Structure 1
Amino acid sequence: MLDAFGFRRTKWKRLSLNTNVTAIQHPPFDEISPISRYSSVREQDRGSLTGNNAPNSKDKTPASDSDREKSKLNSHSTTSTKVAESLRPRKRALLVGVTYKNCRYKLKGTTNDVKNMRNFLIDSFSFNPQNILVLTEDETEPDLIPTKKNIEISLKWLVKDCRAGDSLVFYYSGHGLRQPDFDNDERDGFNETICPVDFLREGMILDYDINSTIVRPLPKGVTLHAIVDACHSGTILDLPYVYNRQTKAWEDNYAPSGARKQTNGGLAISICRCVDDQMLADTSAFNTKAMNGVMTYNLIDILRCPGVTYGDMLDLMHGSIEEANRNGCLTSRFLRTSCQKPIPKPVLSSSEPFDVYGKSFIL
């Protein structure tokens, strides 16, 4: 099975969608309480989704100054910092990039994807850096490595104590797989999964578990966006509606078993790299400094333009990919070298139908 990961990265040219337009501006939000890496999750919650306990953060040795200097992507204050919680809507994000270092199925651009997404959230949507939690293999603290346990804990953190007006973002760049569904919960007969860095030892994280952790608890007035740049990721949140761009309509994705996939009144939206049965070559977007994932790079480039709706976003992304596939990538506007396989088109799903051309994309 692992031989399927023997992909080769190519490079992309930058989309010609940058129009030097000022990034979307939003009314200022009061800063929320700086989120502690440990205090945001109760001790009894610090385990897998089955509730295994882990040592209290007070027993941990504080990171050295040199460690803090290396871990630039996380800006959390110390656990002793206490600031009055704002009554204004809050923004919180979990960004996960898995490289699978020293493995034959390693990826080269996932950490860059996370860095770009973090900067995008801060610069274009006014996210407070202290409310963005980043898990990559480049982090120096064990709790910030994208293991299965750490990802599960962080997913709980993302939705903990959320309330009306909150905007939450879950971003994942890494490998995705699928496995047979024996509970009749999937229309295609397979569970979609994401692969933590230790998935060969600890196992994958299933779409059902992601749904139960960050989708079902969402209360009314809370919006969650999940952006998943991985194979087999089309319905990774198990949301009940999938948008069909050809018919311009939402299609039913409810489980044959009748299993609940809805929120608790909130809105969950996911943008994923490809449909569930697609596995793709590890193609990369091109810029002058680093390797970047196709979907992530394309999405960020498009959303920097003000007033983009969900429908606009899909049309622009699909149009760019169709051009690349027609030209074999070599002469497209945003690919530098040839592609071994056609690039798949992203998938939009939601917990409830909405007018994709009437709703602006705002995080």
Structure 2
Amino acid sequence: MYPLITCSNCRTQLQVPPGAPSIRCAICQAITAVADPRHAPPPAHTSPYPPASPSPPQPSPYSHAPPGPPPNPHGRKKAVIIGISYKFSRHELKGCINDAKCMKHLLMNKFRFPESSILMLTEEETDPYRIPTKHNMRMALFWLVQGCQPGDSLVLHYSGHGSRQRNYNGDEVDGYDETLCPLDFETQGMIVDDEINASVVRTLPRGAKLHAIIDACHSGTVLDLPFLCRMSRSGQYVWEDHRPRSGVWKGSNGGEVISFSGCDDDQTSADTSALSKITSTGAMTFCFIQAIERGHGTTYGSILSAMRTAIRDVGSSGPSLGGGAVTSLLTMLLTGGSLSTGGLRQEPQLTACEPFDVYAKPFSL
């Protein structure tokens, strides 16, 4: 749990990420300096902060994130969108930045997310605090839930590499932790599902909701949510209880958390141009957006079914593209992709804090 500090302006309690010299309040946008608890206050001439003046103190990397929209009776909308191509490395992916651009377009045009409330992390960003390094990704997750209130709607989209590693604390049914791979994961390490759960799931208050769309390998339970929805042999989606035997709580603080993921924990996620026919995209991201565009976004079950059908169609007749704002956007994205041969072996997954009727519950962001 991060330490708390009181906003110097509106007195809201703020959670302080480790090492941040200052923090911006998500409610009033005021910047509050943070004292280092490990040391006594330094003498005035050695203070790490600028002297008092009309200008604000030096902001932390956290404050480089765009401020959320002002509170309103219907709740605020905030999103973190991460696309990592690992360019010029042996891990390079073709479609992830395209995924990020398309998801931003969908959120702004279909679901009316203000552009100022969307934080994009890709290698194309000029702001160094918006490059998808491990530190910046951690700060972005912190920003997403900072100041969250009942009625707020949050979205986390990630397109990049995922992996898994052996779990030793007994909180994983399959014995493995799922991970996300930041741009600098080879030197700084991966972000483990336990950390993602602690930072954005367990802190979510009652009345708020978070949707995660994770397009990565081994991403089925990357938010470490306790219930997993799979298609049964009879062709119906059913919930499996994945609460850890250790008894560790993996749910939220009363908020609603639902995650779409590219594939099961033991599958790999495709990066392919076989779906868009235009440019390389993540198969899961493309199928999620296409399902919404084509009117299949009524319920969670209808989205899952449309995604599953689209992915399974690849390699046979291939999907037709149809008209739609985001599909039109794909024609404007100028990156090449290598054709994929054969069908895709992905199975879109849905996880949640609590089971629900996927065929009856309306989908909304």
Alignment of 1:35-114 (within 5 A): 39-40=24-25, 58-59=57-58, 76=66, 85-114=71-100
Residue 161 of structure 1 corresponds to which residue in structure 2? 147
Evaluate the alpha carbon distance shift between residue 305 and residue 288 of structure 1 in structure 2; reply closer, same or farther with a 3 A threshold.
closer
Unpaired segments ≥5 residues, structure 2: 1-21, 27-31, 37-47, 51-55, 322-337
1: distance between equivalents of 2:201 and 2:148?
12
Residue 284 (1) aligns with residue 273 (2): yes
Deviation at 1:288, TM superposition (A): 6.2
Deviation at 1:279, TM superposition (A): 2.3
For 1:362, give the aligned amino acid.
S
Residue 301 of structure 1 corresponds to which residue in structure 2? 290
Q: Are the aligned partners of 1:285 and 1:334 in contact in 2 as well (CA < 8 Å)?
A: no
Residue 363 of structure 2 corresponds to which residue in structure 1? 361
Residue 239 of structure 1 corresponds to which residue in structure 2? 225
2: distance between equivalents of 1:45 and 1:294?
46
1: distance between equivalents of 2:278 and 2:176?
38
For 1:345, give the aligned amino acid.
E
Residue 322 of structure 1 corresponds to which residue in structure 2? 312
Deviation at 1:342, TM superposition (A): 3.4
Cα deviations by residue, 1:122-166 (Å, 9 ceiling, x for unpaired): 100010000000000000111000000000011011001111111
TM-score (norm 2): 0.75
TM-score (norm 1): 0.76
Deviation at 1:293, TM superposition (A): 1.3
Q: Percent identity among equivalent residues? A: 42
For 1:349, give the aligned amino acid.
T
Unpaired segments ≥5 residues, structure 1: 1-36, 47-53, 62-73
Structure 2 counterpart SS, 1:133: strand
Residue 312 of structure 1 corresponds to which residue in structure 2? 302
Cα deviations by residue, 1:218-275 (Å, 9 ceiling, x for unpaired): 1111110000000000000000101122253211010121111010111100000000
Alignment of 1:1-363 (within 5 A): 39-40=24-25, 58-59=57-58, 76=66, 85-246=71-232, 247-287=236-276, 289-306=278-295, 308-324=298-314, 329=315, 331-333=317-319, 337-339=339-341, 342-363=344-365
Deviation at 1:40, TM superposition (A): 4.7
Evaluate the alpha carbon distance shift between residue 289 and residue 280 of structure 1 in structure 2; reply closer, same or farther with a 3 A threshold.
closer
Evaluate the alpha carbon distance shift between residue 86 and residue 343 of structure 1 in structure 2; reply closer, same or farther with a 3 A threshold.
same
Deviation at 1:291, TM superposition (A): 2.1
Evaluate the alpha carbon distance shift between residue 277 and residue 183 of structure 1 in structure 2; reply closer, same or farther with a 3 A threshold.
same
1: distance between equivalents of 2:92 and 2:271?
10
2: distance between equivalents of 1:293 and 1:59?
38
Q: Are the aligned partners of 2:205 and 2:255 in contact in 1 as well (CA < 8 Å)?
A: yes
Evaluate the alpha carbon distance shift between residue 255 and residue 344 of structure 1 in structure 2; reply closer, same or farther with a 3 A threshold.
same
Higher relative contact order structure (alpha carbons within 8 Å, sequence separation ≥ 6) = 1
Q: Are the aligned partners of 2:145 and 2:200 in contact in 1 as well (CA < 8 Å)?
A: yes
Residue 332 of structure 2 corresponds to which residue in structure 1? none
Higher alpha-carbon deviation: 312-321 or 135-144 = 312-321
Deviation at 1:105, TM superposition (A): 1.2
Cα deviations by residue, 1:293-315 (Å, 9 ceiling, x for unpaired): 11111110111244521111111
Deviation at 1:285, TM superposition (A): 4.9
Structure 1 counterpart SS, 2:110: helix
Residue 41 of structure 2 corresponds to which residue in structure 1? none
Q: Are the aligned partners of 1:90 and 1:167 in contact in 2 as well (CA < 8 Å)?
A: yes
Q: Are the aligned partners of 1:263 and 1:351 in contact in 2 as well (CA < 8 Å)?
A: yes
For 1:297, give the aligned amino acid.
F
Cα deviations by residue, 1:77-105 (Å, 9 ceiling, x for unpaired): 7xxxx986434311000000111111011
2: distance between equivalents of 1:333 and 1:45?
56
Give the count of matched residue pairs: 300
Residue 70 of structure 1 corresponds to which residue in structure 2? none
2: distance between equivalents of 1:135 and 1:258?
35
Structure 2 counterpart SS, 1:188: coil
Evaluate the alpha carbon distance shift between residue 131 and residue 349 of structure 1 in structure 2; reply closer, same or farther with a 3 A threshold.
same
Evaluate the alpha carbon distance shift between residue 189 and residue 98 of structure 1 in structure 2; reply closer, same or farther with a 3 A threshold.
same
2: distance between equivalents of 1:99 and 1:349?
26
For 1:231, give the aligned amino acid.
C
Evaluate the alpha carbon distance shift between residue 285 and residue 351 of structure 1 in structure 2; reply closer, same or farther with a 3 A threshold.
farther
For 2:250, give the aligned amino acid.
K
Q: Are the aligned partners of 2:272 and 2:340 in contact in 1 as well (CA < 8 Å)?
A: no
Q: Are the aligned partners of 1:172 and 1:227 in contact in 2 as well (CA < 8 Å)?
A: yes
Deviation at 1:108, TM superposition (A): 1.3
For 1:308, give the aligned amino acid.
T
How large is the Cα RMSD of the aligned pairs?
2.9
Higher alpha-carbon deviation: 332-341 or 345-354 = 332-341
Q: Quick check: which has more Rg, 1 or 2?
A: 2
Q: Are the aligned partners of 2:134 and 2:189 in contact in 1 as well (CA < 8 Å)?
A: yes
